[in-house]
Amino acid sequence: MDNFDILIIGSGMGGLVCADILGREGYKVCILEKNKQIGGSLQTYVRDKVIFDSGVHYLGGLEKGQNLYQIFQYLGIMDKLKLQQQDLDAFDKILIEGDDKVYNFAQGYENFIKQLLVHFPNEEEALRTYCNKIKEICSKFPLYNLRSSDDFNEKSDVLEIDTKAFIDSVTSDPKLQGILAANNALYAGQADKTPLYVHALILNSYIESSWKCVDGGSQIAKLLSKNIKEQGGKIIRDCEVKRIVEENGVVTHVVLENGEKMYAKYFISNMHPVKTFEITDTPLIKNAYRNRLKGLENSTSAFTLNLVFKKDTFKYIKHNYYVGREGYVWTTAEHTEENWPLGYAVFCGASSKSPEYADGLSILSYMRFEEVAAWKDTFNTASKENDRGETYNEFKKRKAEILLDAVERKFPGIRECIKTYYVATPLSYRDYIGNDDGSLYGIVKDYKHSLKTFISPRTKLPNLFLTGQNLNLHGILGASMSGIVTCCAFLGNDEIVAKIRNA
C-alpha cells in the first residue's frame, strides 16, 4: 500500500493545480478520480473523429506576463500547449434576432471601444467609463494580479455592485445595455444578482487576450498529469470516494466504492462543498453550516448540440457567437417550453486538421435540471452505462431540432453542412462533471450576500481542505486561482504567488 501525504478527491482543474504545486513542494500526492477521463470540465470527447470540448471553449489571459500565462509558465506547460489566438477584432460576435448587425468584442481595451463605436458612435464616454470600471475592479483583486497579500479589505468596496445596474447606469441606450451583457452565458448572469466583479474578472481576461486550445482543452489536464507523475505523484481513475472518515477530530482515511480504504495525512476535496460534507460523517462540521451551504443556489445547466460537419463545407471561424432575443439578455435561463431557446452560444473548435474548414461546432443553450428530472435516476459515464430509454432519446431529438431551427435563422444553410450531431443535457454534465444538478458554474454569486458565497479552503477538520470552482470563481482561470488559494492555506503562506509571478 502506497503511503501518501495528500489525497485529492477529484481531478478537475483545482485538484490538478493543487497536486502539481504541492508535488513541487515535496509532498507525495495522489488524486482519486471517479471517471475514466481526468480533468473535470477539461474533458473532451471524440465523435466521428471530431474532438469536442465539454467545458473549455476558450481561454483568456495567455499573453506573455498575463495571469493565466504566468500560472501555466510556473507549471511548466505554457510552451507545450497547442494554442491559437482568436480574431483580434472579434473574439466574440454578438447577434440579436431581428437585427442584421454584428457587434464585435475585440481584444485590447482601445480596440474593444473602437469596434463598438462602429455601431454606437455617440457612446464613447459610456464605453470608456465602462472599461475603466472593469479595469479598476480587476485591480482590487490581489491574487488575480498575482500579488501576494489577498487583503479582503482591498476588494470589499467592489463586491456589492450589481452588474445590470452598473451597465444601465453607464448608458441609457437599451441596445448597448444589452450588447455589453450579451456574453453573460460565460457566468450565467442574472439581473439584480450577478456581482459586477464576476462580470469584470471574466470579461477582462478575454479582452486582455483570447485563445482556443487546438484539438481540445484536455491537453491541459494531460500535461499537468504528466507533471504530477514525474514528481512521484499518482492519479487513480475509476475510483469513486464514497466516504470521508473522521476520527478524533481529523480525517484518517477515505472509503472507496469497492470498500477499499485509503489513508493519508491530509485531504483536499475538489468536489462541490455540499457533496464533500454529505460524505463526511463528523459532528465537527455543524448542521447549521451544512444547511447554509445547501441553501446556496447552483447556477443553471445546459443543453449542448455538437455538430459534425461534412468535409470542407463550413468555414472555420476564429471567434465565438452569442445570439439572443432582444430584451431577454438577463432572463435567458427563465425560458418556457414554448419559447426555448431565448439565446445560445456558438463555439468552433480549433483543429490541427484544417485551418480553413471547421470539422465541428458546439452550440450551447441553457437548460434547467428540472427539464430532465424524469431520467434523474439513470447514470451514463464511461464506466457505468444506463439506457435512459426511448422517451429520453425523443426528448433530445426534439430539443436538438428546435435549437437547430433557431441556429438556421441566423446561419442560413448550416443544416446542409451537417453530417451528424450529438447531444449533451444537464444529465451529461452531472455524470461527467460531478455536480448533482449538472450546474455549469457551481454556486451562484449574489452581490447582496457577497460574503456568503466566498467559501474558505479550510474546514473545521484541520487536515481537510476544499478547492475548485465553488471557492472563488469558475472557469480555467478561476479554478486555477482556487487551487492556488488552497495551496496557500495548506502551506500557511503565500510564497507560491511570488513564484508564479516571477516564473
- What is the residue extent of each domain of the chain? 4-76+216-294+447-501, 83-87+117-213, 300-440
Higher model confidence: residue 45 or residue 329? 329
Strands 241-247 vs 261-269: parallel, antiparallel or unpaired: unpaired
Q: What is the dihedral of CA 427, 17, 33, 223, to 10 degrees?
A: 100
Res. 231: pLDDT tops 80: yes
pLDDT at 388: 87
Q: Considering only 20-29, 162-171, 310-319, 422-431, which range has the smallest mean pLDDT?
A: 422-431
Q: Are 6 and 29 in contact (CB under 8 A)?
A: yes
Do the beta carbons of residue 5 and residue 264 sit within 8 Å? yes
Transcribe 165-180 into DSSP letters: HHHHHH---HHHHHHH
For residue 156, what pLDDT band results from cuts at 50, 70 and 90?
A: confident
pLDDT at 297: 92
**What is the 8-class DSSP label of residue 298?**
B
What is the mean pLDDT of the segment spanning 492-498? Answer: 93
SS3 content of the chain, % helix, strand, coil (to 5): 40, 20, 40
pLDDT over threshold 70, residue 1: no
* Measured distance CA(311)–CA(352) in Å, rounded: 14
Average pLDDT over residues 27-51: 93
Quick one: pLDDT at residue 436? 81
How many CB atoms sit inside 10 A of residue 105's CB? 25
Q: Is the pLDDT of residue 109 over 80?
A: yes
Share of the chain above pLDDT 70, in %: 98
Q: In terms of Cα–Cα distance, which of 92, 31, 453, 93 is closest to 269?
A: 31
> What mean pLDDT is reported for the chain?
94
Percent of the chain at pLDDT above 90? 87
| CA nearest neighbour of 465 among 286, 287, 269 | 269
The grid cell for 94 is 454578438
* Helix axes of 13-24 and 475-491: crossing angle, nearest 10 degrees: 40
Find the mean pLDDT for residues 257-283: 96
Q: Which amino acid is located at 77 in the chain?
A: I
**pLDDT attached to residue 149:** 64
Find the farthest-apart pair of alpha carbons in the chain and give their distance in angstroms, rounded.
69
Give the number of residues written for the chain: 503
Asked whether residue 165 carries a pLDDT value surpassing 90, the answer given is: yes
Helix (H, G, I), strand (E, B) or coil at 309: strand
Q: Which of 13, 445, 369, 1 is nearest to 187 (CA)?
A: 445
Sign of CA dihedral 167, 170, 176, 177: positive
For residues 200 and 348, the answer to whether their CB atoms sit within 8 Å is no
322: left (phi over 0), alpha (psi -120 to 50) or beta: beta
**Lowest mean pLDDT, pick from 220-234, 390-404, 434-448:** 434-448
In this prediction, residue 431 has a pLDDT band, given cuts at 50, 70 and 90, of confident
pLDDT score for 415: 97
pTM for the complete prediction?
0.95
Give the CA distances from residue 473 to residues 33, 195, 467, 468, in Å, rounded to whole numbers and listed in that order.
22, 12, 11, 8
Band (383; pLDDT cuts 50, 70, 90): low
pLDDT in tens, 449-490: 888 888 999 999 999 999 999 988 889 999 999 999 999 999
Higher pLDDT, 453 or 282: 282
Quick check: 150 pLDDT over 70? no
Over its C-alpha atoms, the chain yields an Rg (Å, rounded) of 22
Q: What is the mean pLDDT of residues 257-285?
A: 95
| CATH for the 4-76+216-294+447-501 domain, from 3.40.50.1980, 3.50.50.60, 3.30.2320.80, 3.30.1490.190 | 3.50.50.60
Alpha carbon distance 255, 280 (integer Å): 11
Record the cell numbers describing residue 206, joined without a space.
478575454
Q: Per DSSP, what are the bridge partners of residue 324?
A: 96, 343
Other Cβ atoms less than 10 A from the Cβ of 499: the count is 15
**What average pLDDT does this structure show over 320-347?**
96
Q: What is the pLDDT of residue 387?
A: 79
User: Around 277, how many Cα atoms within 13 Å sit in the side-chain half-sphere?
Assistant: 19
